[in-house]
A and B are shown apart, each in its own frame.
Chain A
């Protein structure tokens, strides 16, 4: 549970004529993590791909280009019947012929179309001016300006008296004597003039535009016809394409597997890791092929790939671990602890029966509907577990649903004085133990968070001890020292808060056997026991970590206080939800149908928002507490994931 699966290094040796069968066998087993052979020498060379590899990869390339041209998308199609290897090449060739032709004409039409559009773009301003093209060229004494201006050109008289100006909206054509060219140029640049190129054409621009427009229309029609034909082809063949692509990807993986083997002239050697418990399965399956040698090799397990081994309810949390870093083969796998702590912290922050129920529902939906995306399914399950704890905390500690308490709180000065019992007219026997919005309640929550810190960090240090004890006793003792300091700090914090229910509980009920005396330092009483713990701890970690590590005690205090975020999020979320209730609930009791409907809609939206933001914030903060405060106490995580040959990400 806390260890990853035990691995064993095996080698498989056989003659070349058994290579294909062997690849087939280990592919179907999905149990061997092949180690690539990397250093060829005189005796051993890299393997060659199987002979069928080149044909398969050719087909695959063609198929992918077809699939690209047709823009086949995964989700739309239903799978067709099983495909047979031999027919594939022929089918792909016919398909390729059909599609290439269409594709080529599609590209031609596209090119023509852009061409026509560009031409139209340049001619349109001239068409709007209405002058035939001949008028723009061939002057010896006239300068011609055609272009677009952004300011009015009515005041051209100021610059020159001799001119001919034709305008249409912002397009202008201006003819002036050549000797005034420069003057006019500077005038025009004030008007933000952009010159248009005059095309080498003759005749009426309007007619040209008309012909081009007709041409464009024709081309567009042709284009949509081709598009339609391509769509038909897609609908007809998408199933085949996807199915075959899947099939060929598997085949190519198999055919190219020998590239990862070491070979001699007549034999091949596969080197890899398998889970120890599966050795017999592998051995038996390979024995069926015959002529193969299968054996275990003594090897340093430091480099072994890691296959996490957790009970089923903890498995959804494995992805959180991999997201941080896969544990190395020799260290403890924290998944189980994360799976115990995560829902509790998450539930504590949400702490509302109503939200809990909604989360259980949403999580279940995710898990049920997202069969194709395992990661989302995992998140669904995590949500369900978090929701269950939110429900528990909501019922037994906070006594509220959707931020409305079941019973009216005693402190009536609190905002949102209503309760479920008052609204529904029946007394629900669930009482609020801690109220999130009372100062005293908040202090209790802060202290409960610190209890979480003690438990969580304590487990972290214990893991650290377990990890270190095998190879470095000194470091293990240092971790134990830190654990003792943690306890000392916790005791001191509880002592300082002994006037509150939580603090009092720990000081008077749990640690009653410890002497509660201390020295006063600047008005603060520091317990002798805490002081002793800290000193003992320092003595224990100095041999391994040095004197400077004393500063880290402040870091540990910061780590402990960091858990107060649990209380922080719980209060903030509760406050926002209560604020919405105070604003919107009166609408429901206003008696006006319109207001009631509006209120219901707004309340729904508001709570949906609080729920989503709350789940996000709680999720991220819980992950952080695990990644930063917890993991940094013991976790190194430099392992590589166990990737058996043949296992595919998406199952078809």
Chain B
């Protein structure tokens, strides 16, 4: 059960972050084509959604450690 939850967490957060970054990335590249000096700000915006997947990762590991405490999936 826990293993399954971990898998769902990683897949879900991964997809969500990817989708969000797709949207932001497209807009950022567009803005950068107009104004190259926006690179720094663009990169910042671009990587914001990554936080989602990081949270997912942290949760996944907390769950996995629970799994090893209980002893097996």
Contact = CB atoms under 8 A, between A and B. Distances in A.
Interface of A: 323-325, 439-440, 442-443, 446, 558, 561-562, 564-565, 567-568, 571, 620-621, 623-624, 627-628
Nearest to B55: A561
A68 B61 CA distance: 60
Q: Which range contains the number of B residues in contact with the other chain? A: 10 to 19
Given A561-B54, A564-B54, A568-B54, A442 B44 contact: no
15 contacts: A324-B40, A439-B65, A442-B64, A442-B65, A443-B61, A446-B58, A558-B51, A564-B54, A564-B57, A564-B58, A565-B50, A567-B58, A620-B47, A621-B50, A627-B43
A541 B61 CA distance: 35
B54 A439 contact: no
Contacts of B51: 558, 561-562
Contact of B44 (A561, A564, A568, A624): A624
Contacts of A439: 61, 64-65, 67-68
A568 B55 CA distance: 10
Interface string B5-43: 000000000000000000000000000000000011101
B3 interface: no
Contacts of A627: 40, 43-44
Contact of B40 (A325, A440, A446, A565): A325
Contacts of B68: 439
A562 B54 contact: yes
A539 to B, nearest CB: 28
B38 to A, nearest CB: 10
Given A564-B54, A564-B58, A440 B41 contact: no
B54 A624 contact: no
A350 B33 CA distance: 33
B39 A624 contact: no
B72 to A, nearest CB: 13
A96 to B, nearest CB: 35
A446 B61 contact: yes
Contacts of A440: 65
A442 B61 contact: yes
Interface of B: 39-41, 43-44, 47-48, 50-51, 54-55, 57-58, 61-62, 64-65, 67-68
Contacts of A561: 51, 54-55, 58
Contacts of B48: 628
Contacts of A628: 44, 47-48
A620 to B, nearest CB: 7
A442 B64 CA distance: 10
B54 A565 contact: yes
A266 to B, nearest CB: 41
Contacts of B61: 439, 442-443, 446, 571
A263 to B, nearest CB: 32
A324 B65 contact: no
A415 B67 CA distance: 18
A324 B44 contact: yes
A460 to B, nearest CB: 14
Contacts of B62: 443
B54 A623 contact: no
Nearest to A632: B44
A439 B2 CA distance: 14
A561 B56 CA distance: 11
Contacts of B47: 620-621, 624, 628
Given A439-B65, A440-B65, A568-B58, 6 more contacts: A324-B40, A324-B41, A439-B64, A439-B68, A442-B65, A562-B54
A446 B57 CA distance: 10
Return the 3 tightest CB-CB contacts between A and B, nearest first: A324-B40, A439-B65, A624-B47
A565 B49 CA distance: 13
B34 to A, nearest CB: 17
A565 to B, nearest CB: 5
A442 B54 CA distance: 14
A46 B61 CA distance: 68
A558 B55 CA distance: 8
Contacts of B58: 446, 561, 564, 567-568
A571 to B, nearest CB: 8
Nearest to B38: A325
B24 to A, nearest CB: 13
A11 B39 CA distance: 35
Contacts of A571: 61
Contacts of A624: 43-44, 47, 50
A442 to B, nearest CB: 5
Residue from A565, A620, A621 having most chain B Cβ neighbours under 10 A: A565
Interface centre among B40, B43, B64, B67 (most CB of A within 10 A): B40
A38 B40 CA distance: 30
A323 B39 contact: yes
A375 to B, nearest CB: 13
B57 A568 contact: yes
Contacts of A620: 43, 47
A325 B39 CA distance: 10
Nearest to A565: B54
Contacts of B64: 439, 442
Contacts of A565: 50, 54, 57
A623 B14 CA distance: 21
Nearest to B69: A439
A521 B62 CA distance: 20
Contacts of B65: 439-440, 442-443
Nearest to A628: B44
Contacts of B55: 558, 561, 564
Contacts of A323: 39-40
A571 B48 CA distance: 21
A149 to B, nearest CB: 44
A20 B64 CA distance: 75
A561 B50 CA distance: 12
Nearest to B65: A439
Nearest to A563: B54
Nearest to B67: A439
Contacts of A621: 47, 50
B55 to A, nearest CB: 6
B50 A325 contact: no
A325 B51 CA distance: 23
